[in-house]
Amino acid sequence: MRLGVSLLLWLMLVPLQAMAAIPDKPAYNSYVYDYANVLSDDVEQNLIQSAKALEGSTGNVVVMMTIDTIDGMDAFEFGTETMRSWGIGDEALDNGMLIFATTEQGPGQNDVWIT
């Protein structure tokens, strides 16, 4: 009985831990979210202009993010769950992309990932 209760609790808590690393959907729409504060204003503005031009010419939506850490989550899982929870792109057109980079996960542990 204890094993069953322990297993049930574990199954309920693991998804909550995974979701903890995903930032809440921003209240404002942009193409760049520099949570790690590593981009200069000029670079950020160039990225925004490029992503806006791409969306205007192709309809594809590219969102870029820097973040300190994804708290041990797998990069694939973090990217996929962030895209779903933020609603990046049009689900029917499958035209969204998230590019993110981590900065503080430790030597050799940072990720750059495209979802």
Could you count the other beta carbons within 10 Å of the beta carbon of residue 47?
18
Q: pLDDT (tens digit, 9 = 90+) per residue, 65-96?
A: 999 999 999 999 999 999 999 999 998 999 99
| Domain extent at residue 33 | 2-114
Q: Residue 113: what are its φ and ψ, rounded to 5°?
A: -140, 145
Give the whole-angstrom CA distance, residue 70 versus residue 14. 15
- For the chain, the domain total comes to 1
pTM, entire model: 0.80
Q: In what order do the strands lie in the sheet with 112-114?
A: 32-34, 61-67, 96-102, 112-114
What's the confidence (pLDDT) of residue 51?
Answer: 97
DSSP letters for 86-97: HT-S-TTTT-EE
CATH number at residue 88: 3.10.310.50
Q: How confident is the model at residue 21 (pLDDT cuts 50, 70, 90)?
A: confident
